[in-house]
Amino acid sequence: MGLKVYVNGEFVEKEDAKVSVFDHGLLYGDGVFEGIRVYGGRAFKLDEHVARLYESAGFIRLPIPLSRDEMKKAVSEAVDINGLEDAYIRLVVTRGVGTLGLDPDKCSDPCVIIIVDHIAIYPEEFYEKGMEIVTAATRRNIPEAVDVRVKSLNYLNNILAKIEGKNAGCVEALMLNHQGFVAECTGDNIFIVRDGVLKTPPANAGILKGVTRQIVMDLAVQEGIPLEEVNMTRYDVIAADECFLTGTAAEIIAVVKLDGRPIGGGKPGEMTRKLRSRFKEMIH
């Protein structure tokens, strides 16, 4: 049986899940989204993802036609209907069908889409050996433009950086903010470890406030690991003892090289391993 997709209150076959070419989500990237993992048949950290979705929508003044509870119920239904134990949910809300002009007030009702599908994570080898990344020339958008804390359908900035990473033979790329400080990767937050202290760029450094980032920060507190949210440069990353990325899809993955320079001897570090195993315990 094929996968079923939720589109505006109805479950339809994957092949029949379609939106209008006049939807402003398509025409202008006018909308917001979330990526959520399903572990053991349940949506993981659903409250946190739904909260971020509504916060993003609020910022762009997009009224979501469901209450938070209705949204959580719809997501859970989508998970149950598809019967997948380990999966990835893409929750999308677009401005809806409108005219060929920017005006969001000329759009009909917002469109809500919930896709539950299989997840393709990085090869297991990357988790064991760590991965290599490069710094992209494309910077994060300035906060005076669309604040990147809004998880909007405008991901071109990240896609350009991703292309740069791929050109260099990497699957991820590091992005700096407009001030030249380390922000995050194209779809993951970044952490470093230096002299036993766990460090990550602050929320106003041009990052998406990752749900997995928060989990790692909470784990650090539980484990008594000193934690700092501080600005850092490329130098700090290269000179770190350890570096890892966090994200819903990636979970926790070690970075062992930046721009050709090995980090921490070029091997995943102890704290990364420890946090990853604590994270694994949490999801199982």
Q: How far is the CB of 74 from ligand PMP (least distance, A)?
A: 20
The yes or no reply on residue 213 touching ligand PMP (CB under 6 A) is yes
Q: Is 158 in the site for ligand PMP (CB under 6 A)?
A: yes
Specify whether 151 is catalytic: yes
CB of 35 or CB of 104, closer to ligand PMP:
35
Whole-Å CA distances, 169 to 166, 238, 255, 259, 260: 5, 19, 14, 11, 11
Provide the token pair at 166. Answer: 């791929």
Tally of residues, the chain? 284
Longest CA pairwise span in the chain (Å): 57
Residue 5 or residue 211: which is nearer to ligand PMP going by CB? 211
Residue nearer to ligand PMP on the CB measure, 247 or 264:
247
**How far does CA 79 lie from the centroid of its chain?**
19
* CB of 95 or CB of 140, closer to ligand PMP: 140
Provide, rounded to whole angstroms, the least separation between the CB of residue 55 and ligand PMP.
12
SS3 174: strand
Tell me which amino acid residue 57 is. Answer: A
Window 12 to 41, contacts with ligand PMP (CB under 6 A): 35
Residue 90: enclosing H or E segment and its boundaries? strand 87-94
d(CA 170, CA 74): 36
Question: Which of 96, 98, 187, 206: binder of ligand PMP (CB under 6 A)?
Answer: 187
Q: Please, what is the minimum distance in Å from the beta carbon of residue 5 to ligand PMP?
A: 20
Considering only residues 188, 199, 255, 272, which one is a binding residue for ligand PMP as defined by CB under 6 A?
Answer: 188
- Torsion sign over Cα 110, 116, 117, 118: positive
Q: Which residues contact 138 (CB under 8 A, 6 or more apart)?
A: 157, 160, 161, 164, 175
Question: Is the CB of residue 271 less than 8 Å from the CB of residue 198?
Answer: yes
Looking at beta carbons only, is 187 or 268 nearer to ligand PMP? 187
Closest CA to 117 of 188, 31, 37, 15: 37
Least distance to ligand PMP, CB of residue 37, Å? 8
Query: Nearest approach, Cβ of 35 to ligand PMP (angstroms)?
Result: 5
- The catalytic position among 4, 45, 151, 199 is 151
Q: How many residues bind ligand PMP (CB under 6 A)?
A: 14
Residues between 242 and 281 that touch ligand PMP (CB under 6 A):
246-248
Active site residues: 151
Summarize as ranges the residues that interact with ligand PMP (CB under 6 A). 35, 158, 184, 187-189, 208, 210-213, 246-248
